[in-house]
Chain A
């Protein structure tokens, strides 16, 4: 980064002469060094999965969840600074409640994505604050079907069929592309998601992690956002671990992709 030392990267909301906001770019770096999270839009639902890095053996396993719920029909997972992820969900819950208070119906997914995107954008425009150090995957079910969005630290948000954020995003994204989304069933997607997170963990080989997964499906969860039940999670982990052993020889290919970045 040749621009370091020019002074334009010290303050939020100040453009550099070539039109960049460095604080926002640094926030994106915080995401790039965090555990991988993915979201998959399926024919019949949404699946979230995250690689929760465990920083201490003393932490209670299975607790300290990273996938969160904004409303019964909206799930969220974010990679980056954990408290920022909690804050944005808090805001999402306020927005959802306010929408329901006025319109007496659950907020739609495009609407909540838009409101959160706008909220994040505001934090790139003021000197007194810093941008969010997270990329947030928001997905859910509403009267128009299933939706999946990802919000970046800049506030930009796009709709996706499948998306990965965090350190292992490159390999995860190329795996997602192979799935031919959204032509996949949630039950299969759970297995694939587990496999993708296990593959993405190659980038954090030295650290312990827990696989956390949730889903939304009209058929299996009644359109609500819920954690994947124990038996399905165990099955998915088994599938991922089996596959990991086979993939050991393919490791070199993965590294090639990493270089292409």
Chain B
């Protein structure tokens, strides 16, 4: 009874909060807007302002510069390899953690967060330690003429490591909440494992999966620290977009640096838009599924 009365009280107290004095509300909103403007909007605007200061012609010229194009290509290549790999790994990890009980499960959950917990620079150094010329596998790799560090494979590996948790993190709580009863029902009805995955598991997690992929992609394209350590900054060969921006900036070529940076800023905007779209779609899906649940018979 006390629980019910407390519940009926809470909506009554919320409108009370809206009766705060006008000056307080104005002040709070102003502080928020000022903060957002100063730390989010202003940098974004300044990136585009600096990029276009020298005129559109110069802006485009900085983008079609061969080193810039290589950096864009390498960034896209890295994302194209790292994101699908992390999609599969993340899905497998989330599946294993959410649907099965086994020894060491807690350790595995912690391990998945490791890339978030460790500084990206340290992650990069780990790969140097493993695959660098003086590293554990260095001599063997040199003997077989394989290049990982200061080459594209190292960049891809470092990016994959840093972006690993995004997909798994999105999926684990959702899959845990959904449990495995629907999968069991599908199996009893004669569906095979593959068919159960495509027809039952995947549709239930598709929005969370897409959301994870979008975040993973944004980070894969924007990663700086870990990639910086393993790339070696070889112009036109191992520079990704963030690294290229840094080099241009260090050479006082601000206009070109901001031009490339504006591409990354655009990517961020596209990512935010895509994320909003996915969230909105997921909500619509949920609402249409929930529909007019009220007023049913019984």
A and B found bound together = no
Q: Which residue numbers of B lie inside 8 Å of A, CB to CB? A: none
Q: Which residue numbers of A lie inside 8 Å of B, CB to CB? A: none
